[in-house]
Homo-oligomer: A and B are copies of this chain.
């Protein structure tokens, strides 16, 4: 029987359950449509059944279960008030799964899980100090100090996306104004394009697309075709992120900052100005001490790898 962990990625649409060995090999995986289980009890039953199927089919010995989910709290083993999930309030997910398994069951938010995935399987394997930033619909981040995930006093540390970069700036989903994720994320870059379409006179293929139909991959493709508005939008996003990274570096002095998710996939139109602004504005003490690089485990299995990495770290 092979020693494995189960990595579970819970999203608003899909939940993916993966069987992962210590080398990051995904031995098997299964999908659940999260939306089909608006009642928590039925979701837990389906999750348990799926895990049992995977175990019996593959003749496995589970060492631990790791879960990545939005608004998850590592200390309490809960998902708390997640706006994109049907289960409201505080969901004691780990306790509910522990009824079936007498092994460690741990949870953390998606970005923390991604950072752990980078540490266990990706580019941060030998690093003690790094951060990982996920640029999806929002901006998530996971911070590792001295080889350990930073959860802080509340378990909610690592909210780089909700650091305020502009006083009285853009409205944020968190109820405040000017948070970094309003500028640097798939949504943020659409907002920037919309502002630029008003501000600039340049011709742009983005002028024919409604705000509702705009997305970051359209902007990335336009930028890579030389569209001036799209290129400026990436430069502005890069500049905002660069200033936040320069400040993060001053506080925590990481060896590397990994970037994953949609905007990172745009390549040079994003990374080139990002590295340039960091280089120009970093405090001299930290010059040449930090790599700003794409995640090595970015892609569709990153979330399962991250969740399973959390499980491996727990039994370490």
Contact = CB atoms under 8 A, between A and B. Distances in A.
Interface stretch (A31-39, A215-223, A224-232, A283-291): A283-291
A251 B163 contact: yes
Contacts of A155: 253
A167 interface: yes
Interface in A39-91: none
Contact of A176 (B163, B175, B283): B283
Contacts of A176: 281, 283
A55 to B, nearest CB: 34
A111 to B, nearest CB: 12
A157 interface: yes
Nearest to A80: B285
B152 A254 contact: yes
A21 interface: no
A253 B75 CA distance: 13
A96 interface: no
Contact of A251 (B160, B167, B175): B160
A234 B205 CA distance: 50
A167 B290 CA distance: 22
- With most chain B CB atoms within 10 A of its CB, the pick from A243, A248, A254, A285 is A285
Interface in A109-167: 128-129, 143, 145-146, 148, 150-160, 162-164, 167
A247 B283 CA distance: 19
Most central of A148, A150, A158 by chain B CB within 10 Å: A150
Contact of A145 (B150, B254, B283): B150
Contacts of A281: 164, 176
B253 A151 contact: yes
A296 to B, nearest CB: 18
A253 B156 contact: yes
A163 B252 CA distance: 11
Contacts of A252: 143, 150, 152, 157, 251
A287 to B, nearest CB: 10
A1 interface: no
Given A145-B145, A174-B284, A176-B281, A154 B253 contact: yes
Of A153, A159, A174, most buried by chain B (CB within 10 Å of CB) is A153
B146 A128 contact: no
Interface of A: 128-129, 143, 145-146, 148, 150-160, 162-164, 167, 174-176, 243, 246-248, 250-255, 281, 283-286, 289-290
Given A146-B146, A159-B285, A251-B252, 15 more contacts: A145-B150, A145-B152, A146-B148, A146-B150, A151-B253, A153-B289, A154-B285, A154-B286, A154-B289, A158-B251, A159-B283, A160-B250, A164-B247, A174-B283, A176-B283
